[in-house]
Amino acid sequence: MSANTMVSSKTSRVQWIAKVSVLGALAFILMLFEIPLPFAPSFYKLGFDEVIVLLGGFALGPLAGAAVETLKIILNLVFQGTDTAFVGELSNLLIGLSLVLPSAFIYKKNKTMKGAWIALVIGVVSMALMGCLANYFIALPAYSYFYKLPMEVIVGMGTAILPLVKDTFTFVLFMTLPFNIVKGVVVALLTCVLYKRVSPLLHR
């Protein structure tokens, strides 16, 4: 390997790290601004941080997308702390990765508008399914334990919005799943609108 090649490779790595760091910081900042939704309990809020994660994944690849997602969660832990002994953060990480990894991987193989839409649809479906699993097995039990809220109280928050919610399963089915689908669709649309505009900056 020539000296020029080594310098170029090192420069590329430094640029990659810098871009991931900036995107991770932006995603963390966006985490601080969330919007409550009328059809979901108060602890389910719509955020736009995953848009930044997807932009990074589309421009720099699946590994970069995963790195941005992970850095965002780490920054949130550093500056916001945790009330759930990292369990809630683990759930958020799994849900975020389930969106960006399949989306970025599929788009990497087919970098067209059609490829982007296919990637995002599969990513949203993946996120919605992971959201159900992560909430049922990780997040909701963790919130119940750490906030000293009986699961019946959490379920009751859903029942107050939709009487069909009777237990944890129906809570996840009628609250968690629609929330993640709506969030995924909003994030996907914003990603499609913004990507071509910011792509030149990320490819410099």
pLDDT tens, position by position, 122-141:
999 999 999 999 999 999 99
pLDDT tens by residue, 172-190: 999 999 999 999 999 999 9
In a domain, 2, yes or no: no
CB 68 within 8 A of CB 57: yes
Residue at 25 is within a domain: yes
Distance separating alpha carbons of residues 159 and 164, to the nearest angstrom: 7
Domains contained in the chain, number: 1
Asked if residue 79 is part of any domain, the answer here is yes
Neighbour count for residue 171 (Cβ, 10 Å): 25
- Domain residues for 191? 12-34+41-202
pLDDT score of 4: 44
Burial of 4 (0-12, 13-18, 19+ CB in 10 A): exposed
Residue 3 lies in a domain: no
Strands (E), the chain: 35-36, 45-46
The verdict on residue 150 lying in a domain is: yes
196 assigned to some structural domain: yes
Residue of 51, 41, 96, 46 whose CA lies nearest to 69: 96
Q: Tell me, yes or no, whether 64 lies in a domain.
A: yes
Neighbours of 83 (CB within 10 A): 12
| 23 lies in some domain | yes
Query: Would you say residue 5 has pLDDT above 80?
Result: no
Tell me which DSSP letter residue 136 carries: I
Global pTM exceeds 0.75: yes
CATH number at residue 142: 1.10.1760.20
